[in-house]
Structure 1
Amino acid sequence: MENEPLIDDALKTELSALYQAGDRHYHSLAHIEAMLALAGEYRRLLHDPEAVKAAIWFHDAIYDSRAKDNEAKSADLAKKKLAGRASPDRIARIAAMINATATHQLPPLSDEKAANDTALLLDMDLAILGAEPDAFDAYEKAVRREYGWVEEPMWRAGRAAVLKSFLARPHIFHTAEFRQRFEAKARQNLERSLATLQAG
């Protein structure tokens, strides 16, 4: 059961349609595909790869840049759509992973395997921060377009606060593998972006 895909073709089609909405410039199907590729690459480190894949598919399913409860709504959608496809316990784990993407802080999980999978999911979600400068800049522009309704001074202040909060963490990434691969580049990208925002 554990290795059976939780997301069948019908569900993929349904979720893909949500990710292809016109107002999604970064939180799109390409973001999901990039995360699924990383999940494939790091599969050996995942305790429940299919649950992680399900969490990837659902984590940005509901996305409105004006809302504060996208992750909670996405987790609720996952619970509803996965009911009967997995045990209640497994669905609860998937929902917890989705909710963790709201803050990118590791929630207190007593289950070590669930904590490990959540840490890897969060790192996959933030891997873009450690991308090559061109890819990172394209990501920043895409996020700005998603917040097109925010006036420039407000945007600069808000975005700078987000970037500073990541830079203030002892580590941006939770796992040794992602730290080794992306941490240094992510800090360079964030510092460069912050300097641009602050220069106005």
Structure 2
Amino acid sequence: MADHPVPDRPAPDRPRAGDPAPQVLRDRFRRALEAARAPVAAGPAAPDPLPYADDLLRRWREPQRRYHTLTHLAAVLDRIDTLQEYADDPDVVRLAAWFHDAVYLPDRSENEERSARLAERALPEAGLPPAKTAEVARLVRLTVTHDPADGDRDGQVLCDADLAVLAAPPSAYAAYTAKIREEYHFVPNDAFREGRAGVLRHLLGLPRLFRTPYGAREWEATARYNLRAELDMLSV
């Protein structure tokens, strides 16, 4: 699953402070992969999911990450659990969550594409059927725009789960924006403000931020309030 070298990646058994327990995440990956690949690659001859889980855990714990960490991954997985009734294949959506920021370098613009390609290489080795591998990769690429089609139930669940942080309470939203700024510490303040404002305007310009009934009901209004408030602060 090699994609790019990152020095001094911490081992998955030694999480950073605040990280979810690695074994819990390993079990979640194993369950999602086994459910998604059955019955094509079920049974004792199926590839062991845990080496793939451990590689992904190492990627999500790379030192350049501040927001896109195991905590973010676990939160997205939790929200997919909340939204799973709206998905056509919840376990494929869960695998897409694992891969959606698996390649993450803040100074690169092709992270989603490289993450999708990683899924396309790794998941066939792990026993996932070709059609489901293609769907995982498609979902990962969808997180570039977070704008799924009306009939794209799996895309709607993944995008809603990924964007749900925008509806966080004020203190949690402030912590999220601070971590994003830390990830882009190498960008001068004026350039960061301009770039971040562009992201916020794009999101506010979407007809709907959240496409599932739950997301529209529980998250839409608060997220738009948070985005407008942040954009106002950036414009001062």
* Paired-residue identity, %: 34
C-alpha RMSD of matched pairs (Å): 1.9
Are positions 1:41 and 2:78 aligned together?
no
Q: Which runs of 5+ in 1 are unaligned?
A: none
Cα drift, residue 142 of structure 1: 0.4
What residue in structure 1 maps to residue 93 of structure 2? 52
What residue in structure 1 maps to residue 107 of structure 2? 66
Query: Residue 61 of structure 2 is aligned with which of 20, 23, 28?
Result: 20
Matched to 1:59, the amino acid is: H
What residue in structure 1 maps to residue 139 of structure 2? 97
What residue in structure 1 maps to residue 35 of structure 2? 4
Mapping of residues 1-200 of structure 1, within 5 Å: 4=35, 8-84=49-125, 85-106=127-148, 112=151, 115-199=152-236
Cα drift, residue 160 of structure 1: 0.8
Deviations along 1:76-133, one digit per CA (max 9) or x if unpaired, are 101111014122111111100000001112269xxx5xx1011110110000001111
Distance 2:211 2:82 in 1: 17
Distance 1:5 1:32 in 2: 19
Contact 1:60 1:71 in 2 (8 A): yes
Contact 2:33 2:95 in 1 (8 A): no
Q: TM-score, normalised by structure 1?
A: 0.91
Cα drift, residue 3 of structure 1: 6.3
Write 1 or 2 for the structure with the bigger share of helix.
1
Cα drift, residue 69 of structure 1: 0.8
Distance 2:172 2:52 in 1: 29
Q: TM-score, normalised by structure 2?
A: 0.78
Q: How many residues align?
A: 194
